[in-house]
Structure 1
Amino acid sequence: MRARATIPAVLVLATASLAPAAAADLARPDRAADAPAYTDWSGGYVGLEGSASGSYGAYTFGPTTVGGRPIASFKSGDSTGRSDQGRNATTEVGGGFAGWNWQSGPWVYGVEANLDAANLKRPVPSTVPGFGYETVDPAFNIIRAKTDVYGSLRARLGYSFDSYLVYGAFGLTGANARFLADYPELDADGQRTGGLSRTRRDQSYLGFTLGAGIQYAISDSLALGIDYRYVDLGSSRTFALGSVPDLGPVATRARFTSNQLFLRLLWFPGGLKVPAEPDEAAPHDPDTARSDRFSLHGQTTLIAQGVPGFRSPYVGDQSLIPHQARQTTTATIFLGLKLTDTTEVYYNPEFSQGFGLSRTLGVAGFVNGEAQKAGAPFPKLRSNRYFVKQTINLGGETLDVPDGPNQVATRYDAERITLIAGKFALGDFFDGNVYAHDPRVDFFNWSLWAASAWDFPANLPGFTQGVYAEYNRPEFAIRAAYTQVPKEPSSDVLDPRVFRRAGLNAEFEGRYTLPWLEQPGKLRVGIFSNVGVSANNRDVVTLTQLGLFDDINDAVGATRRPRRKTGGYVNLEQALTPDLGLFARASLNDGRTENISFTDIDQSFSGGLSLKGTAWGRPRDTVGIGAAMNGLSPSHRAAFAAGYYGLLVGDGRLNYGTERAVETYYALGLTKFLTLTFDYQFVDNPGYNRDRGPAHFFASRLHADF
């Protein structure tokens, strides 16, 4: 699919054009001082919505007969497939909507009608068994399904708090569909003429839709929203679809289901009654904080990213594909409860949907930090974190910690020991950096927000289970964790044999102030030693060269056993002024074995600058620029050159060169809770291959939290 301007991009650009006005409106001078703590969404509204690569769906055909002979059910392609080497089906939906809300206290209910133009193209590969064309050119598709218009009428029920509305929706949806079948033409002698004969059938559908969403008031008349819908159009009646030469007529039924995600811009002509924003300068009351034993926060992040054409003379199973766009979305709830003054428990359910470019493959320092190797075409719910936290206060001055994500408002001693047990991400506690550590608000590239040669133990979304301990003083902190590793490289299952196979990670963090700058800084030094099931790079290359295995990946699978991998990193963050900061990382592992969790990097160096927008009157804005260089050990290079496929990269061959990346972004702080980011990345030698690229990546990100 070629990267091109899509409706979500138009909405994001529209949002950007509204930003100065929104910023001016955010003071909301007409709000009453005694306004309730939630927005009044009553009245009518209209809006625009758009969705591109964040929507996925497919037609299921069956029962189907060819010449009266039944064949197995089959599905059309969707926009995540790689079998056509990037010539993927597209899913573009966008249009308008209108609705009316009624409100009783914080509860909101209403009706909404949507009408969306669509460009839903769904090919069926020629290799479907039973059609008799299994050997036809893979670029040829027997059947194509197209949908041009969607419509829906939904009821909504929601809950309003602060400037947000979260809601569920259900209702009826309808769509049209066209089915096109192309079969080779035969001459009078039964030989192919080289031409195609086409059959077309039109069908109308009426089904149901379920969904949920969140919207945020950016001014007294405008709101931004993210809306998810599951669409089930039901099944058509059996219809004829032409005749296959030599086999006979085709009769089938088709059912369509889809998971759709929309970015929405809403206008309320009658205006909104939005509560006054809390005074950010108000002092924190430690006594109130200590009495508040519950914490609730949330976030949602939507990233749309595309790459245009680049040099790609050949393609492997894990190559970066040109001309494509993808979208990822996450939504997280952060729940916290203080059982005692020193004991806290936390739980984070998270929905995620979408894939990175090329299904999060093709670049070792991947270009979207929100993209997971466990991506899904539908919202997938995981319990990403659940842990208990015990603090042992050791005296000294006390620190009042305000309420925040995974932090109940509390009071700690400056000198303390913290113990944690449960499920978490090692990046929650290690390798932190205030300028480059969170792809939801700063850099996208994996090699900029993390020490990317640190092969931290994790499942596919990046989480593990284990224990963590930290000793903290004002001048320094020492921390360590003992956690599970995956059962094998890039596995979503964690190995339960923690006494034989596990990960040990440790870090020292020193805090200081440079006297000539009078600005704070931190230096972190980390080491790791993980035992996981993996193959030795040199061994599998030798076995393949000796002819014992035809495919090096077979040698990898046959020789995996528990092996130790070690390495470390250095991480610097240094404020140069109150608004300008510098960051730098260097990381290294031994490079002898497969990496098991993160990505295919053995050495990495990165650094950059982050600047707040105070100088131009936008203190909530941030501009960042960074660069990274990644490399492989000699034995790892030899494995990839022999056709090895790693965690993220593998072209089937390799003309080795270090992978180099440059990234710059501008994060526009629309409100305290809403940020819109524009991002550009340049990657030279993606996947360490001089034969591929260079590639240019363009992205937008919408992040909301409360």
Structure 2
Amino acid sequence: MTKNATRHLLAAPFCLLSLAQAHAQSTAADQSAAPETWAIHGQFTNVTQGHNRFASPYQGQNSLDAAGRTEETSDITLYAGVRLPGGTELWLNPEIDQGFGLSNTVGMAGFPSGEAYKVGANTPYLRLPRAFLRHTFALGGQQEAVEAAPNQLGGVRAQDNVVLTAGKFSVTDVFDTNSYAHDPRGDFLNWSLIDAGAFDYAADAWGFTYGAALEWNQGSRTARAGVFQLSAEPNGKIIRPKFNQVMLVAELEQRYQWDGHGGKVKLLGFANHASMARYADAVRQAAASVPNVPDVAGVRRTAWRTGMAVNVEQELTADVGLFARASMNDGAKEAYEFTEINRSLSGGVAIKGAAWGRPDDTVGVAAVVNGLSGDARAYFAQGGMGILIGDGGLRYGTEKVMEAYYAARLGKQLSLTLDLQEASNPAYNRSRGPVHLLAARVHAEF
């Protein structure tokens, strides 16, 4: 990336800020009086992340570089929304991306940066990750305020409602959300902490797809269901309409009060229908060939792959919150979109800085343990390659990651985060690691 390109990329969010400042100021006073008819928000995030040299007697095509690496990613997003006749919201999110994840975003099943996509580039490039419609059908109940935010127009709505979202967006915009661990631009970075590790959700290589989701909100409960387009082949860059390549997903949410503090429990289930391989078939085919390295590409056939996740968040005080997730999937078949995790358990705490006079700062500490099925272990032990992992061999151990961050608010629209991670058995390999990772994140928004 040239110095001029970097300068323009860093300057862009502040140019966007100037353009939208007048709208932000004019709507702030009138927000309670009338619903927003349109809005423009924006964000800029840069993550610079590196890791030390670590023990590694061997490495393969999808290994984290044992010599140590430092990479950076940058993205600028514009959130442009308008309220159409009838109350339907239309949102477009053009985005400019640049940079690479460590080792080109391979080497750990729980990859250490949620800001790193599976596609990297030295020069900035433009894409449209979200273009969707949202309509809310009122069912009754009291009116509640809707806060103005990116991809959400300010106003009021009935507490009991049905929300339909359709178009191009991320499955995790609607499903598996968590107040304390879900946003790599503001809280944790590790993939298997910000999402349920075994939730193999439909997505292109950037994490987005086409589909529709329906949410029914009634009192303290919400039921969600959705259908989304899977890639034409695992980890595909382009999503093409293919009606036999779909994900079905449903989620039940129960909200409650415990000792005066809010909490949520969510139960999610999903089923992917696509042409995918069984690990055992790939291993069996390799046994009759030379060299006997298994390859999933040659044994794919139409099948279902299912999984589930439990997601909990609990406020302990106004400044302290806990979260936990547990997830598992059908480990007999290859990972299709997300990453090679067949079971995962994560949990952590987020603490606001009021106790030390920094109420807008946040400290987060969490840990996650990821595991592979027996069939997946056999496949990778014989040199098989996956979406994110493949050392050419495997001395299996669960992948364990600990992460801690401090996010300092430097102003209303700017924050700086220092993030530390330690990964034991990266890519489930006891022969490699541990790996110590350090990241700095700059985030600006309006």
**Is the CA contact (8 Å cut-off) linking 1:495 and 1:501 kept in structure 2?**
no
Structure 1 counterpart of 2:278: 536
Question: Are 1:610 and 2:354 counterparts?
Answer: no
1:210 shift after superposition: 9.3
Aligned equivalents of 1:331, 1:215: Cα separation in 2: 8
> What residue ranges of structure 2 are gaps of 5+ in the alignment?
none
Q: 1:437 aligns with which of 156, 176, 182?
A: 182
Secondary structure of 1:340 counterpart: coil
Structure 2 counterpart of 1:286: 32
Deviation per CA, 1:229-265, whole angstroms, max 9, x where unpaired? xxxxxxxxxxxxxxxxxxxxxxxxxxxxxxxxxxxxx
- Residue type at the aligned position of 1:474: G
Secondary structure of 1:692 counterpart: coil
1:346 shift after superposition: 0.6
Question: Are 1:351 and 2:96 counterparts?
Answer: yes
Q: 2:372 aligns with which of 624, 632, 636?
A: 632
- Distance verdict in 2 for CA 1:559–1:549, change over 3 Å: farther
Aligned equivalents of 1:614, 1:360: Cα separation in 2: 36
Deviation per CA, 1:610-659, whole angstroms, max 9, x where unpaired? 00001111111000000000000000000000111101010000000000
Question: Are 1:378 and 2:123 counterparts?
Answer: yes
Matches within 5 A, 1:419-568: 419-498=164-243, 500-514=244-258, 517-545=259-287, 547-548=288-289, 550-553=291-294, 555-568=295-308
Question: Are 1:587 and 2:327 counterparts?
Answer: yes
Deviation per CA, 1:584-627, whole angstroms, max 9, x where unpaired? 00000011111110011000000000000011111110000000
Secondary structure of 1:647 counterpart: coil
Q: 1:311 aligns with which of 55, 59, 62?
A: 55
Aligned equivalents of 1:493, 1:333: Cα separation in 2: 22
Matches within 5 A, 1:356-367: 356-367=101-112
Deviation per CA, 1:439-491, whole angstroms, max 9, x where unpaired? 00000111111101000010000001011111012301101110100111111
Deviation per CA, 1:94-120, whole angstroms, max 9, x where unpaired? xxxxxxxxxxxxxxxxxxxxxxxxxxx
**Is the CA contact (8 Å cut-off) linking 2:13 and 2:42 kept in structure 1?**
no
Count matched residues.
Answer: 440
**Is the CA contact (8 Å cut-off) linking 1:573 and 1:584 kept in structure 2?**
yes
Deviation per CA, 1:10-44, whole angstroms, max 9, x where unpaired? xxxxxxxxxxxxxxxxxxxxxxxxxxxxxxxxxxx
**Is the CA contact (8 Å cut-off) linking 1:341 and 1:410 kept in structure 2?**
no
Aligned equivalents of 1:355, 1:600: Cα separation in 2: 20
Secondary structure of 1:395 counterpart: strand
Structure 2 counterpart of 1:417: 162
Matches within 5 A, 1:295-334: 295-321=39-65, 322-334=67-79
Structure 1 counterpart of 2:418: 678
Secondary structure of 2:257 counterpart: strand
Secondary structure of 1:701 counterpart: strand
Aligned equivalents of 2:210, 2:131: Cα separation in 1: 9
Aligned equivalents of 1:417, 1:570: Cα separation in 2: 23
Structure 2 counterpart of 1:164: none
Secondary structure of 2:317 counterpart: coil
- Distance verdict in 2 for CA 1:506–1:646, change over 3 Å: same
- Residue type at the aligned position of 1:524: K
- Distance verdict in 2 for CA 1:667–1:432, change over 3 Å: same
Deviation per CA, 1:53-110, whole angstroms, max 9, x where unpaired? xx37xxxxxxxxxxxxxxxxxxxxxxxxxxxxxxxxxxxx7xxxxxxxxxxxxxxxxx
- Residue type at the aligned position of 2:90: V
Secondary structure of 1:680 counterpart: strand
- Residue type at the aligned position of 1:644: G
1:213 shift after superposition: 4.1
**Is the CA contact (8 Å cut-off) linking 1:284 and 1:402 kept in structure 2?**
no
Structure 1 counterpart of 2:384: 644
Deviation per CA, 1:195-235, whole angstroms, max 9, x where unpaired? xxxxxxxxxxxxxx994542789xxxxxxx99xxxxxxxxx
Secondary structure of 1:394 counterpart: strand
1:495 shift after superposition: 4.1
- The structure with the largest alpha-carbon Rg is 1
Aligned equivalents of 1:587, 1:464: Cα separation in 2: 22
- Distance verdict in 2 for CA 1:429–1:631, change over 3 Å: same
- Residue type at the aligned position of 1:300: F
Secondary structure of 2:11 counterpart: strand
Question: Are 1:574 and 2:314 counterparts?
Answer: yes
Aligned equivalents of 1:367, 1:462: Cα separation in 2: 15
Please identify which structure carries the higher helix content. Answer: 2
> What residue ranges of structure 1 are gaps of 5+ in the alignment?
1-54, 57-92, 94-151, 153-168, 170-208, 218-224, 227-273
- Please tell me the root mean square deviation across aligned C-alpha atoms, in Å: 2.3
1:341 shift after superposition: 4.9
1:284 shift after superposition: 7.1
**Is the CA contact (8 Å cut-off) linking 2:176 and 2:311 kept in structure 1?**
yes
Deviation per CA, 1:510-545, whole angstroms, max 9, x where unpaired? 10001xx21100011100001122110111112212
1:342 shift after superposition: 2.4
Secondary structure of 1:319 counterpart: coil
Aligned equivalents of 1:691, 1:429: Cα separation in 2: 38
Aligned equivalents of 2:218, 2:349: Cα separation in 1: 28
- Residue type at the aligned position of 2:319: D
- Distance verdict in 2 for CA 1:279–1:675, change over 3 Å: farther
- Distance verdict in 2 for CA 1:549–1:594, change over 3 Å: farther
Aligned equivalents of 1:670, 1:214: Cα separation in 2: 18
**Is the CA contact (8 Å cut-off) linking 2:363 and 2:407 kept in structure 1?**
yes
**Is the CA contact (8 Å cut-off) linking 1:297 and 1:705 kept in structure 2?**
yes
**Is the CA contact (8 Å cut-off) linking 2:13 and 2:44 kept in structure 1?**
no
1:340 shift after superposition: 2.8
TM-score, length-normalised on structure 1? 0.60
**Is the CA contact (8 Å cut-off) linking 1:467 and 1:482 kept in structure 2?**
yes
Aligned equivalents of 1:526, 1:212: Cα separation in 2: 38
Structure 2 counterpart of 1:694: 434
- Residue type at the aligned position of 1:548: S
Aligned equivalents of 1:215, 1:486: Cα separation in 2: 32
**Is the CA contact (8 Å cut-off) linking 1:568 and 1:589 kept in structure 2?**
yes
Sequence identity (%): 44
**Is the CA contact (8 Å cut-off) linking 2:229 and 2:247 kept in structure 1?**
yes
Matches within 5 A, 1:89-100: none
